[in-house]
Amino acid sequence: MSNTVKVISVENDADEELLDFARKGDEKALSELVKRMFPVARSRAYSYRNSFVEQEDLTQEGMLGLLDAFDGFDHKKGVAFRTYADKCINNRMLNAIRNSETQKNRPLNSYVQLDEEKLVSVINVEDDFLNVEELCTIIDKKLSSFEKSVIKQYLCGYSYNEIAVRLNSTEKAVDNAIQRVRRKIRNED
């Protein structure tokens, strides 16, 4: 019995096939999927440019939605991965926008914005985004078990209240954990 190994050419493989390889630990397939979906996240973020959330933050939220899509996609549902991922990306951005518009964030939302076009020309979002391997390393090595549990629930789309109930904690502890995760990720780039 011979073991045959399929050699993949990631540029030509379907998203679903790449996802299967990525789930088996193929970093090249995972990188290719991220590269394919990053423009979708950036485009979605641009479509919400009039929200109070910065495009860079929305793009990062979208990429977290993509990570959620990696975990939640099911071939049996009859939906293309790209369609599912786009929905996850969009939902994450909408949640970020909704959260920014809550009463507790009102003071932050009333600040004077800088000229976004000038900022975008200076900062290239792709250069600021951590690659998937770095993100996985941060999650594995730098997050506490509580932070990992919180971010996993958050990536699944649960509200702070739902996460608090599921983890037998408080909304404030959940919010603090998410803020710590964001700081840890941002401090790595």
- CATH number for 50: 1.20.120.1810
Q: Mark whether 104 and 144 lie in a shared domain.
A: no
pLDDT at 98: 84
pLDDT score of 26: 84
Of 102 and 49, the structure prediction assigns the larger pLDDT to 49
pLDDT at residue 126 tops 60:
no
Residue 138 and residue 96 share a domain = no
Torsion of CA 100, 148, 72, 161, to 10 degrees: -50
Look at residue 105 and tell me whether its pLDDT is greater than 70: no
Bigger pLDDT: 30 vs 102: 30
Residue with tokens 């050699």: 7
pLDDT in tens, 127-178: 444 455 666 666 777 888 888 888 777 777 778 888 888 889 898 999 898 8
Do 106 and 146 lie in one domain? The reply is no
Q: How many CB atoms lie within 10 A of CB 104?
A: 8
Q: Does 177 lie in the same domain as 111?
A: no
103/176 same-domain check: no
Whether the pLDDT of residue 16 is over 50: the answer is: yes
Q: Residue 3 domain-assigned?
A: no
In this prediction the pTM is 0.50
**How many C-beta neighbours within 10 Å does residue 144 have?**
11
Report pLDDT for 11. 52
Q: Is the pLDDT of residue 5 over 50?
A: no
Burial of 113 (0-12, 13-18, 19+ CB in 10 A): exposed
Q: In sequence order, what are the residues at sequence separation of 6 or more whose Cβ sits closer than 8 angstroms to the Cβ of residue 88? A: 65, 66, 68, 69, 72
* CA pair distance 85, 71, nearest whole angstrom: 10
Residue 108 has pLDDT above 50, yes or no: no
Closest of 70, 72, 64, 71 to residue 89, by C-alpha: 64
Question: Where in the sequence is the domain holding 26, given as residue range(s)?
Answer: 9-126
- Asked if the structure places residue 71 within a domain, the reply is yes
38-74 pLDDT tens trace: 888 888 888 887 777 888 888 889 889 988 888 888 8
Do residue 51 and residue 82 come from a single domain? yes
